[in-house]
Amino acid sequence: MNAAELCTDLQTRFGPGVLGVNLEAIDPWIELAPEALLPVCQFLRDEPSLQFNLLNCITGVDFCHTDPKKAAKSSWQPHLEVVYHLSSLARRHRLVLKLTRPRWKDGIVGQLPAVPSVTGIWKTALWHEREVYDLVGVWFDGHPDLRRILCPEDWVGHPLRKDYEMPLEYHGIRGR
């Protein structure tokens, strides 16, 4: 099954849960609604003709400032994207899934946006989701041990957010 056939199949099976598709990208990607993430991932892993058995990585991307490419869209708002890179070792194909979330839950600064955890589908997500939580500030609902992985537990903020301000001092150690 090629990328176009896969995208068409997912759109047919999951309907409004598939928000967008880009087949021209280096790795074809599909944008999903958060509620479609778990059923789509389960299908991609378990469908014998697909066998997406490897979650390569999960990435968080902060689109804090207007993206010039998207500025023409009147609906564009600062947001976060959670990006899942999947591979099928048996079928030798790759796919990228994207979820778009507001930078803050309910528009309240400090309230982290949430997406469902895929740890029940791919065990490697245990580590990937912790990293995205720690550095970008996305909450993964259902993660069994969501805590910081790189920064100390008492660290304030999420360092890969574009509006993050590095503290001048941490436990008596000057940072700048």
Q: For 116-141, what is the HEC assignment? A: ECCCCCCCCHHHHHHHHHHHHCCEEE
CA atoms of 44 and 79, how far apart (whole Å): 26
Q: How confident is the model at residue 76 (pLDDT cuts 50, 70, 90)?
A: confident
- Asked if pLDDT for residue 176 goes beyond 70, the answer is no
Q: In terms of residue numbers, what domain contains 38?
A: 3-174
pLDDT digits (tens, 9 = 90+) for 7-35: 999 999 999 999 999 999 888 999 999 99
Contacts for 65 with CB less than 8 Å, ≥ 6 apart: 78, 162
- Residue owning tokens 């509006």: 163
Question: How many domains are contained in the chain?
Answer: 1
pLDDT at 67 over 70: no
Q: What is the pLDDT of residues 107-157, one digit of tens each?
A: 888 899 999 999 999 999 999 999 999 999 999 999 999 999 999 999 999
State yes or no: pLDDT of 70 exceeds 80. no
E strand or H helix at 3: helix 3-14
What is residue 73's predicted lDDT score, i.e. its pLDDT? 62
What CA–CA distance (Å, rounded) separates 130 from 96? 19
pLDDT of residue 174: 87
Confidence of residue 167 (pLDDT cuts 50, 70, 90): confident
CATH number at residue 27: 3.30.460.80
Supply the pLDDT for residue 175.
76
Environment class of residue 73 by beta-carbon count within 10 Å: exposed (0-12), middle (13-18) or buried (19+)?
Answer: exposed
- Other C-beta atoms within 10 Å of 65: how many? 9
